[in-house]
Structure 1
Amino acid sequence: MARAGERIGNHMSSTSVTRVLAAATLAAASLVAGTAAAATPVGFGPQMRFGHGSGTSFSGGNWGGYVSFGSFTTATASWTEPAVTCNSSNDLFAPWVGIDGDGSSSVEQTGVATDCSSGHAVYQGWYEMYPAAPVYYSNPVSAGDHFTATVTRSGTSYKLDLTDTTKGWTKTITKSANAKHSSAEAIIESPTDSYPTISGGKVSFTGVKFDGKSLASTSPQGLDADDRGSYTWSPGSIGSDGQSFSLTRH
């Protein structure tokens, strides 16, 4: 995920990356015109660990949620886009669904970004075939909208579907890529390591399935997301339906 100009992404658990490096990488991303929004986008991509201060490593990274390892062909999940209060123009985050990114240098992902760079929250649907830059949709998005996102792989072809069931629109993109197919995930991410205040203090996913199987049946691993080096967004236990979970800040 990216602010019309930055990037979110892969989970490389063996790599420790400082926020300075992450910021430099994000700053390199550029806005995609046409269907992209007018603001400069930030990109989403591989999962990274953030370090805060000499000799320290905060427990979180840029991904929070659940990831399952394997060569999956579909990943799908739903969520209700939360209302937020911007604390700074650096605040940026997105719930998304994807394939790859944990243990690989590519991610095929789609979701909704909340960007505070303009001084107020701007909601935008987007997709990204990392390491390519993110592409933002011009379709209207509001807090409280219900979304379903699905990524489907067939050989080297990827179909990325994002549906706003509240407003009644769907965007479908098909792209080709030579990817590793290392994982599938339902994630929240901030490439800037800075989250707005989220109403209700949680982000919840439902209907999470990989290859048509419930999340709980795919041996998922929980990931914590860093929030400014002082807080963490952590996934709770998977619900009794095997397909739902919430992330809370602590």
Structure 2
Amino acid sequence: MRRFLIRVVTLAAAATALAVPAVPATASAAQGLAFRPLQYNTNGYNWGGYAATGSGFTSVSASWTEPRATCNSSNDLYAPWVGIDGYGSSSVEQTGVATDCSSGSPVNQAWYEMYPANPVYLSLSSYPVSAGDTISASVTYAGSNKYTLKLTDSSRGWTYTTSKTLSASRASAEVIIESPTGAYPNFGTLKFSSATVNGKSLGSFNPVALDPSNGAYEARTSALGSGGTSFSDTFLQE
């Protein structure tokens, strides 16, 4: 395994709206493509961002401004998300916003996933997301194998909350960008803020930093800042 793709960064080194059920969304290439546990192949990793590892994780949250993406090809697909599990596990409980270029233009769509179940995409009309919107996401373990997933677009004035059941290890918590196709659109720089795990700063868990690679680095993850609660991912190439 090519460990040079993982950088361990410690904090010291780092300078409500009522939920409505999801409505089946219009078909897209993203439908059926899972945002899944960390995958490694001969070209590298499919994640960027930070993963806290250990045991007993009960919550993770972060905010970001949805970037304005430019499609390089119709294969481009990526999402910022927060979740529990996935780093060294066979499940992920996660929510975020996917940007899909299958139509030739970027389409932003809110979603959640209890992998290995398929992702659930929210209605584009009921839960719209545009570049520049302020997004907040959280996943919380409520006990008895129950998880609460919450996604808010404060710029649009909506919040989606759902509760799901899954038996999972809770051995990691993540704030991540991911491309299931291994091809990122040009999203410029995406800045995560207010990143917390178990109610503490993400940095207090000495998380693992990852840079996505598909034969060459596709994005670069910055060091943690703002007391271990913020960082950025910067696009390099598709």
CA contact (8 A) 1:96 1:111 kept: yes
Q: Within 5 A, what are the aligned runs for 1:197-208? A: 197-198=186-187, 201-208=188-195
Q: Letter of the aligned partner of 2:41 in structure 1?
A: F
1:235 aligned to which of 217, 221, 225: 221
Aligned to 1:175: 164
Given the alignment of the two structures, is residue 150 of structure 1 paired with residue 166 of structure 2, yes or no?
Answer: no
CA contact (8 A) 1:149 1:163 kept: yes
Q: Letter of the aligned partner of 1:115 in structure 2?
A: D
Aligned to 2:8: none
1:134 aligned to which of 110, 116, 119: 119
For each residue in 1:122-179, what CA deviation from the matched residue of structure 2 results, as whole angstroms up to 9, or x when unmatched?
0000000000000001111101111000000022000000000100100001000100
Q: Within 5 A, what are the aligned runs for 1:53-68? A: 58=43, 60-68=44-52
Residues paired across the two proteins, number: 211
2:40 aligned to which of 27, 49, 73: 49
In 1, Cα distance between equivalents of 2:235 and 2:119: 26
2:110 aligned to which of 125, 135, 140: 125
CA contact (8 A) 1:13 1:49 kept: no
Q: CA deviation at 1:13?
A: 9.2
In 1, Cα distance between equivalents of 2:183 and 2:79: 11
% same residue: 55
CA contact (8 A) 1:13 1:102 kept: no
Aligned to 1:214: 201
Which one is further off, 38-47 or 154-163? 38-47
Which one is further off, 81-90 or 33-42? 33-42
The 3 A distance-change label for structure 1 pair 13 and 140 is farther
Q: CA RMSD in A?
A: 1.8
In 2, Cα distance between equivalents of 1:160 and 1:235: 25
The 3 A distance-change label for structure 1 pair 122 and 97 is same
Higher relative contact order (CA 8 A, sep 6+): 2
- Deviating above 6 A after TM superposition, structure 1's stretches of 4 or more consecutive aligned residues are none
In 1, Cα distance between equivalents of 2:48 and 2:164: 26
What SS does the corresponding residue of 1:128 show, helix, strand or coil? strand
Structure 2 unmatched ranges of 5 or more: 4-21
CA contact (8 A) 1:231 1:249 kept: no
In 2, Cα distance between equivalents of 1:153 and 1:13: 33
What SS does the corresponding residue of 1:225 show, helix, strand or coil? coil
With the length of structure 1 as denominator, give the TM-score of the two structures. Answer: 0.80
For each residue in 1:167-200, what CA deviation from the matched residue of structure 2 results, as whole angstroms up to 9, or x when unmatched?
01000010001001110000000000001112xx
In 2, Cα distance between equivalents of 1:204 and 1:241: 15
CA contact (8 A) 2:211 2:217 kept: no
Aligned to 1:193: 182
Q: CA deviation at 1:241?
A: 2.4
Q: CA deviation at 1:240?
A: 3.3
Structure 1 unmatched ranges of 5 or more: 1-11, 15-32, 52-57
